[in-house]
Structure 1
Amino acid sequence: MRNRGRLVAAVAAGVAAVVLTWLYISIREASLLSQSEPQMVVVSKVDIPGNSVIDAGMFELKPVPSAFAQPRVVTKPEDVQGRVATVPIAAGSQILATMLGDESEGALAYEVPSGQRALSIAAADVMGVGGLVRPGNRVDIIGTFEYGRPTGISQNGTISYADERTETRLMMQDVRVLAVDKEHRRRGAPPRPVPTAEAAAEAAATPEPDIRNVTVLVSLRQAQELILAQEIGTLTLALRSNLDGGRVENLPNLDPITLLGVQTPVKRRPQPVWRELRGGGF
Structure 2
Amino acid sequence: MIARRLILALCVAILVSGIFTYLLSRRFSKSAPAAAQLRYVATAKNLEAGQILEASNLTMVNWPVGQPLKGAFLKTEDVVGRTVMYPVAGGEPVLDRQVSAIGAGTGLSTRIPQGMRALSLKSDQVVGVAGYLLPGTRVDVLVTFHTPASPDPVTSTVLQDAQILTAGQKMQPDPDGKASTVDVVTLLVTPADAEKVVLASAQGTVHFVLRNGADHELHDDPPTQLSSLGAAVRVTPVVKAAPVKTVAAVPQGPKPYRVEVVRGDKQTMENF
> What TM-score, normalized by structure 2, do the two folds share?
0.49
Bigger Rg over Cα: 2
> Greater helix percent: which structure?
1
Q: Which one has more relative contact order, counting CA pairs under 8 Å at least 6 apart?
A: 1
